Amino acid sequence: MLGGATWQRCQFHLAQNAIHYAPTAAIRKRPGIGRGCQLREVWNAKSLTAAEAELKSPVASYPDSAPLLADRLQTAVPEGLAVFTLPEHHRKRMRISNPIERAVQ
């Protein structure tokens, strides 16, 4: 086992999974979730602290209209922030799992 390895959940798949917690098509099509704009701000933050601060905005925008979505964003999206513990030049490649999946197939 790699006991000291950092586990990073794929940011693309986190965003795709979050869409399923939106209760209506109108919320799914909003720029924040459906197109990932709000989550993109989280993923593209300069640091872990900035990413956590950016995450508060989408979470705060859905508590009444989509409480399950807000809860899912608050609990699952931090699983995709482990990449911020890596050196900056590795972050872009390690934030999604597609290159790893292609190498294994």
Q: Is the pTM of this model over 0.85?
A: no
Phi, psi of 9 (to 5 degrees): -85, 140
Q: State residue 50's pLDDT score.
A: 94
Q: State residue 64's pLDDT score.
A: 86
Distance from chain centroid for Cα 13: 8
Question: Residue 48 carries which DSSP code?
Answer: H
Q: State residue 31's pLDDT score.
A: 59
Q: State residue 48's pLDDT score.
A: 92
Q: State residue 19's pLDDT score.
A: 81
Tokens of 91: 């972050």
What are the residue ranges in the chain where pLDDT is below 70?
Answer: 1-3, 30-36, 97-105
d(CA 58, CA 15): 12
Per the CB < 8 A criterion, the answer to whether 60 and 27 are in contact is: no
Query: In 1-105, where do the E strands start and end?
Result: none
Sign, CA torsion 73/11/22/40: positive
Q: Of 12, 7, 3, which Cα lies nearest the Cα of 99?
A: 12
Element (H, E) at 28: helix 25-28
